[in-house]
Chain A
Amino acid sequence: MRSTKWFFTTAVLAVLVLLAAACGDDDDDGAAADAEATPAAAPESGSSAETSEAEEMAEEAEVESTEEAPETASLTVWTQLGDNPALQGVLDGLNEAFMAQHPNISVEIEHQTFDNLQQTVPTALASGAGPDIIDFDANESTLGALAKTDLVIDLEPYFAQHGWDDQLFPWVRERVRFGAGPVGVGRSNEVVGIYYNVDLFDELGLEAPETYEGFLAAADGLAEAGVTPIAFANLDQWPASHFLGVAVHASVPIDQIGGFESLAGSGAWDDPAVADAVAESVSWVEAGYALEGFNGLGYDDGNAEFYAGRAGMHITGTWLVGDITANMTDTEVRFIAFPMIDESLPKQAEGGIGGAWAITSSSDSPDAAALWIDFVHFSDEAEAAWVEAGVLPTTNFDMSTVDAPPLLKDNFAVLEAASAEGGIGYWLGFTAHPIVSDAFTSNSQIVLDGSLSVEDYVSRMQDALVEARDNAS
């Protein structure tokens, strides 16, 4: 009996010792992984000699990419195109073309949904694993967080080597810098404005909503005709970023918005100008402009109402060009900027980079990864393919050279006009920090349905921003 107890105790202790050893290794492993990852993070071209060589290469207008390729490399790419089969096809096609040109580099692409990618990337990279290249959201709260924890590498050497600086819009270059060099290449430009059903407007004798008064008059006219003015549906919570965002960007200077959409800034959500803009959006709901029961309707429900002509306007962004073009083949639809509420401000629009290519610190082949990005984003073949699929370029690519969808040209015009004047703003509530985003998604639903006052709303948002800033510091 005694020996039985002894044996049982020994067996259990053996397991517990193994367990303790596994637990104890945890931090050490993490540190070791980080230590190993850091040298790998530095691109081989990061040394001074190689940097000067890279600069020389950048000065040469055309460099055969195959000359820069490492001997062999195997790359893994995670994209956020999981729910966009059309764009998956574009990237997969470009990838095949890349591998045909570079038989020594194999690239495997895994398409994930946007939400899934936001969750898997930080976990995978923090564990020292993960892909070589990610197509990640380019905000301070997303790609910025990875940059600050050294989970993605500084792309400055590759910007010089491949001449990306000369091709990207200046503001696109700036949006991927989080206190240091660029850590991403903006994959697409996106801007928020108003899609409106031209046929329906003509039928009802309504003018295009080119001024704020015109927008309100059009909304009233649609409502009187029994048509929902705005296809706003917010069960998914994030569409509020655009419904509230257009009012904020039409009323508050871009610099001020940047002040509270940033942890480093000193701006505040509870500024009276922001509160007034939020109140303006709330007044649209009170006037019956949004879909009835909007908090119980998904984004796709709102889209369907717009496609069917049961809603006359849709406040959303560039990403819907493809779907609108496909679903409203017999209807003329135009896209225009949301008119400025404060007309003393220069034209500005909510928008930003739709996603950015970044190279992870855990990649063993950053040179090959940069070569791949250079091909799938900057080659003429790639630029044309993306534009034809409805993606706004982030470069100075000449869109007139390809057969772009008319709505995409409208989007580009809005982007260009805003860029030339006040600027492209921020994804309201989603730029600074996840704590702010969390507060935004839940509180925006209830401020819009009238169960939370605007004053309490901006106060809660400001509290979240302060908490995020405290955490960051």
Chain B
Amino acid sequence: MGFGLWSGPTHYLFIVPALAIYAAFVLYPLVQTLGISFTDWDGLSSTRDGVGVENYRKALTDGRLRSALWNNLTWVVGSWLPQAFGLGLAALLSANWIAGRTAFRTIFFLPATLSLVVVGVMWNAIYNPLWGGLNTALEAVGLDSLTRAWLGDQTWALPSVINAANWTYFGFAMVIFLAGLQSIDQSLYEAAALDGAGSWRQFLHITVPGLRNQINLLLVISFINTLRQFDLVFIMTGGGPGNASELIGIYIYDLIQLRRQVGYGSAVAVLLTISVLITSVIFLKVREEN
């Protein structure tokens, strides 16, 4: 009955290549970053002096890091909007009475396929205070008082970038929810309708619980993506004005690439990685228990 060569411990040999690649390209850089985080390396010198946990102690009192973390958390909350929007769209596009559903799905998903560089450049143009589409549209409907330099305004710079990111994300959320909707037993809706439940109650009590796995998945993905977000802010504002839209990713980049505080930047990167890991594990545990 046995499979000979394939049934004994030998089959573990097959994981070695994959494990070796994982170790070389994931574990090794991680260990290296961890090692550098305990030094004062500037990225140029051939020597690295150990500083113990000084970099980690410094991180705990770094006001700029706290500000960047707060911006990241703001973004996490902001990323829930496109998920809710995607859920609404998915529910709408699953209705049989809507004509051209495939075309709508394609159109709504399109932003998710664009490179973030393209998205950044495009939204920079939309937000341009001199000739951008947003200010022009506001002026056209008599809302001149709302026009502003969106990316140059300390209050509005971060929400403006989050909005651009959300534009790329809602289509992805919609597709995930559409896939989830197909797995919900239609007889539940029929039974609910017979019991007198309207569309809204059906949505709340059948659709949303039926999509809990998809909701959890999207929350985890968006949380991780949001904490490591870099591209859009780098392209659109560079973290400014001041540090108003600076995220941890941008701060780490500044520390390592610009300020040449590679040791300290690595410590912040390690803290970010640990935070993402712990939060993700907790989130998944809670999800499994529920």
B240 close to chain A: CB less than 8 A: yes
B51-92 residues with Cβ-Cβ distance < 8 A to A are none
Spot the interface stretch: A20-28, A49-57, A59-67, A96-104. A20-28
**CB within 8 A of A438: which of B28, B42, B258?**
B258
In the bound complex, residues from chain A placing their C-beta under 8 Å from that of B124 are 298
In the bound complex, residues from chain B placing their C-beta under 8 Å from that of A34 are 46
**A435/B154 in contact, CB under 8 A:** no
**CB within 8 A of A443: which of B8, B16, B242?**
B242
**B130/A305 in contact, CB under 8 A:** yes
In the bound complex, residues from chain A placing their C-beta under 8 Å from that of B242 are 442-443, 445-446, 451-452
- Closest chain-A Cβ to B266's Cβ sits at a distance in Å of 13
**B19/A293 in contact, CB under 8 A:** no
A34, A151, A434, most chain B CB atoms within 10 A: A434
In the bound complex, residues from chain A placing their C-beta under 8 Å from that of B32 are 23, 26
Question: Bound complex: CA of A155 vs CA of B128, how far in Å?
Answer: 47
B10, B246, B257, most chain A CB atoms within 10 A: B257
User: Given A122-B44, A145-B44, A145-B260, are A449 and B9 neighbors across the interface (CB < 8 Å)?
Assistant: no
Which residue from chain B places its CB closest to the CB of A27 in the assembled complex?
A: B48
Interface size on A, residues (CB 8 A): 56
A14, A125, A235, most chain B CB atoms within 10 A: A235
Spot the interface stretch: A5-13, A244-252, A414-422. A5-13
In the bound complex, residues from chain A placing their C-beta under 8 Å from that of B13 are 7, 11
A214 close to chain B: CB less than 8 A: no
Contact code string B36-52 (vs A, CB < 8 Å = 1, else 0): 00000011111010000
Contact code string A89-123 (vs B, CB < 8 Å = 1, else 0): 00000000000000000000000000000110011
**A3/B8 in contact, CB under 8 A:** yes
**A22/B19 in contact, CB under 8 A:** no
A125, A292, A293, A294, most chain B CB atoms within 10 A: A293
B42, B45, B130, B261, most chain A CB atoms within 10 A: B130
**B238/A294 in contact, CB under 8 A:** no
Contact code string B117-144 (vs A, CB < 8 Å = 1, else 0): 0000000100111100000000000000
User: Given A4-B9, A15-B20, A442-B243, are A293 and B260 neighbors across the interface (CB < 8 Å)?
Assistant: no
Question: Bound complex: CA of A406 vs CA of B85, how far in Å?
Answer: 57
- Closest chain-B Cβ to A214's Cβ sits at a distance in Å of 27
**B27/A8 in contact, CB under 8 A:** no
**B153/A296 in contact, CB under 8 A:** yes
**CB within 8 A of B238: which of A236, A293, A301?**
A236
B210 close to chain A: CB less than 8 A: no
A30 close to chain B: CB less than 8 A: yes
Contact code string A280-308 (vs B, CB < 8 Å = 1, else 0): 00000000000111111110010001000
The 3 closest A-B pairs by CB, nearest first: A293-B149, A295-B152, A296-B149
